[in-house]
Chains A and B, each alone.
Chain A
Amino acid sequence: MTVTFTFLDWLWVALFLILMLGSGILFYRLGKRSESDFFLAGRDLPWWLPASSVYATHTATDTPMWITGVIYKNGMAGIWYTFFCGWAAISAFVSTRIFRRSLAYTQAEWNVVRFTGLGSELLRGWMAGWQFFMNMFVLGWVGIAMGRICEYLFAWPTWIGLIVFSLVCAVYVLAAGYWGVVMADFQQGVIAFLVIIIVSAWGIHTAGGPTGIIEKLDVMGQLDRINPFAFTGWWSGDFPIAWFITMMLIAFLGGFGMGTTIDWYVEAQRIQSAKTVRDASYSIWWGTILGLIRNSVWAVAILAFFVLFPNITEQSEYEMGWFRLGFDYLPAGMLGFFFAAILAIHLSTISSHLNLGALYATRDLYQHYVNPQASQKRLVQVGRISTAILLLGSFFYGLIMEDITSWLIFALWIMAAGIWLPNILQVVWWRFNAWGYLSSWIANLGFSWLVVWILPELNLIPNLLDYQQFWILMILGALVYFPVTLLTKSESMDHLVHYYVMSRPIGWWGPVREEAIRRGLILVNGDLVAGAEQASRPSDTFPTVE
């Protein structure tokens, strides 16, 4: 299909882009003040700003596509895929609070707060490099999704949608850093939320309203589609119960850890930009709730789409379902408003990942390892250069990605499977050390290639279902990192006590807690003694938060 825009449609688009570029100009002065401003908005944001940023960032151009895909294919049971974000419901009251108290700018930096010695530094360097890539990768995949939407709507070559809108976004990210990101995200979040409701309601109305949809599904013999528990058996089929249980475990237990899903790294920046621990908690909780409300609205709209177009077999075609509800049925003059909302969805994700990737490059790689004496002006400059490199790299990644899904699943498995449990252990178990954690990362890279690509290709093992890959990678990884942890020394008690006093983690921290009590840093009831944080600081100053 191609869409023809009227003057009014283009006017909506132009006004939106001017509004976004205005964020860059308005907040330019704040963004350039310091590294803390360029990457964390000075750590002074009320909860609703990072919350809207969490929501807006995780509403990307590919989000309605994959949600449409799972709902069209599995009916309402597909909604459970979107409960991956359930980790945040736990995290908001557990790992979010611990992470905010640590004051680490990034998850990579957190490693030298939690661990100590060479192992912690290697972890920081490794994770910073990995995150620089991962943000470039996400930018590529979100960018190419926009390229495909523009190709679908206007018959433009894919590269135009990939490059043009990311360039517009880069203007305000380069100018104002995280200030520009978070202020634009607020506006984009509001626009996107409203339009998602309007378009979905329009689609539901077109299909006959909720009652009409159920009646039509009944006539089609597809009433099972409204049952969220319509699984395909215990172990096999498109959506077995074993996969459902695995997903819920990943999601909810994951909230006790840090980095158990790819989304954590984005959230970590928002957590640190909130002005208090409480603001950080609220921002993660509310940002996620908004996402779940959005998903529920989308799910009903996709049932409406199914009723209207029940016989699409091509995945790439039915994945465009929600977009089609808007472009096929909205009246003339509103199409541009809808496209502006799609741009809002797109830019909010692009801007967040540009700034986040640059944060790892600047804070962890440049400042910590290359030039610790760099001035604030220099750090902002490096932040801007890193942003530009990420942008160019994302074009490369976007252009070589034809099949988004297999890449996406592979990258997500690498992030989620073999290191899922270590990501929790680092928070809840005092004995888990830097070498154990680093070995889990390295082992997982090897195992994931073997399990996902190489062994099935050589016909040594069958192609495994998603949940089978997850459990196998988790067991294989554990066979490496548990022995490594137990065969190497625990972190020094001085460092652990300081970390405990600073972050007050939950879980198995008995020996460290007792030592902190013995040293008079915390009371038996868990309350902190005044000045304990400073008094517990170890003398070795290399692995510190600058």
Chain B
Amino acid sequence: MNQALATVIGMTIAYAASFLGLILAYRAWRKHHKNQSHDEG
């Protein structure tokens, strides 16, 4: 495989994994806050 292409694919997977973590964190945070305001309500 062309090394430039391999680097782009490899690093894209890296960013995808990081953004997946970011999205999971955001989802969990929103859910937590929704539950919290529901409990307070």
Interface string of B7-38 (1 = CB under 8 A from A): 10111011101111111111111001000000
Q: From residue B23, how far is it (CB to closest CB) to chain A in Å?
A: 7
Task: List residues of chain A with CB within 8 A of the CB of B32.
Answer: 542
Q: How many positions in chain B have a CB within 8 Å of any CB in the partner chain?
A: 24
Which residues of A have CB within 8 Å of B21?
124-130, 132, 364-365
Q: Which residues of chain A are within 8 angstroms of B27 by Cβ–Cβ distance? A: 369
Kindly state the separation between the CA atoms of A401 and B29 in the bound complex, as whole angstroms.
Answer: 37
Tell whether A137 pairs with B14 under 8 Å between CB atoms, given A126-B21, A130-B21, A410-B7.
yes
Q: Mark A367-407, 1 if CB is under 8 A from B, else 0.
A: 01110000000000000000000000000010011110011
Instruction: Evaluate contact between B25 and A401: CB separation under 8 angstroms.
Output: no
Known: A129-B22, A400-B10, A407-B7. A121 touches B29 (CB 8 A): yes
Contacts of A132 in B (CB 8 A): 17, 21
Residues of B within 8 A of A406 (CB): 3, 7
Q: How far is the CA of A57 from the CA of B30 in the complex (A)?
A: 39
Q: Is A133 close to B, CB under 8 A?
A: yes
Q: In this assembly, does A118 line the interface, its C-beta being within 8 Å of a C-beta of chain B?
A: yes
Contacts of A126 in B (CB 8 A): 18-19, 21-22, 25
Residues of A within 8 A of B13 (CB): 133
**Do most interface residues of chain B lie in helix, strand or loop, or is the interface mixed?**
helix
Distance between B32 CB and nearest chain A CB, rounded to angstroms: 5
Alpha-carbon distance A401/B15, docked complex (angstroms): 18
By beta carbon, the residue of chain B nearest A120 is B25
- The reply to whether the CB of A292 lies closer than 8 angstroms to some CB of chain B is no
Chain A stretch 79-132: residues in CB contact (< 8 A) with chain B: 118, 121-122, 124-130, 132
Inter-chain contact A365/B24, CB cutoff 8 Å: yes
Q: How far is the CB of B30 from chain A (nearest CB, A)?
A: 9
Q: Write the chain B residue with the least CB distance to A402.
A: B3
Question: Does A134 make an interface contact (CB < 8 A)?
Answer: yes
Report Cα–Cα, A169/B18, bound state, in Å: 27
A118-B29, A401-B6, A410-B7 are contacts. A370–B17 as well, Cβ < 8 Å? no
Flag if A122 contacts B9 (CB, 8 Å): no
- State the Cβ distance, A14 to closest chain B Cβ, in Å: 35
- Chain B residues within 8 Å of A401, by CB: 6, 10
Highest count of chain A CB atoms <10 Å: which of B13, B22, B23, B28: B22
Check if A241 is an interface residue, CB within 8 A of chain B: no
How far apart sit A135 and B10, CA to CA, in the bound complex (Å)?
Answer: 13
Cα-based distance from A370 to B21 in the complex (angstroms): 11
In the bound complex, how far is the Cα of B27 from the Cα of A369, in angstroms?
8
Which chain A residues lie closer than 8 Å to B14 at the CB level?
130, 133-134, 137
Report whether A400 and B18 are in contact in the complex, using a CB–CB cutoff of 8 Å.
no
Task: Give the docked Cα–Cα distance between A129 and B22 (Å).
Answer: 8
**In the bound complex, what is the Cα–Cα distance between A271 and B1 (angstroms)?**
39
Q: Which of A395-424 contact B (CB under 8 A)?
A: 397, 400-403, 406-407, 410
Q: Does A445 contact B (CB under 8 A)?
A: yes
- In the docked arrangement, what's the CA distance between A126 and B10, Å? 17
Beta-carbon contact of B10 and A130 below 8 Å: no
Nearest-Cβ distance from residue A511 to partner chain B, whole angstroms:
27
Which one of B9, B11, B17, B24 lies within 8 Å of A369 (CB-CB)?
Answer: B24
Cβ-defined contact, B10 with A125, below 8 A: no
Max chain A Cβ within 10 angstroms of own Cβ: one of B6, B20, B21: B21
**What is the distance, in angstroms, from B17's C-beta to the closest C-beta of chain A?**
4
- Cross-interface CB contact of B26 among A122, A364, A397, A445, cutoff 8 Å: A122
Q: How far is the CA of A397 from the CA of B10 in the complex (A)?
A: 7
A 246-283 to B, binary, CB cutoff 8 A, 1 in contact else 0: 00000000000000000000000000000000000000
Measured CB to CB, the closest approach of chain A to B9, in angstroms, equals 7
Enumerate chain B residues within 8 angstroms of A370, measured Cβ to Cβ: 24, 28
Q: Mark A230-256, 1 if CB is under 8 A from B, else 0.
A: 000000000000000000000000000
Neighbouring A residues of B28 by C-beta, 8 Å: 121, 368-370
The smallest beta-carbon distance between B14 and chain A, in angstroms, is 4
- Chain B nearest CB: distance from A165 CB in Å? 22
Cβ < 8 Å to B, chain A residues 323-371: 364-365, 368-370
- In addition to A125-B25, A127-B21, 12 A-B residue pairs with Cβ atoms within 8 Å of each other are A122-B22, A122-B26, A126-B22, A369-B27, A400-B1, A400-B6, A400-B9, A402-B3, A403-B3, A406-B7, A410-B7, A410-B11
Interface residues of A (CB under 8 A from B): 118, 121-122, 124-130, 132-134, 137, 364-365, 368-370, 397, 400-403, 406-407, 410, 445, 542
Q: List 14 A-B contacts (CB under 8 A).
A: A121-B26, A124-B21, A125-B22, A126-B18, A126-B22, A126-B25, A130-B18, A132-B17, A133-B14, A133-B18, A364-B21, A365-B21, A397-B10, A406-B3
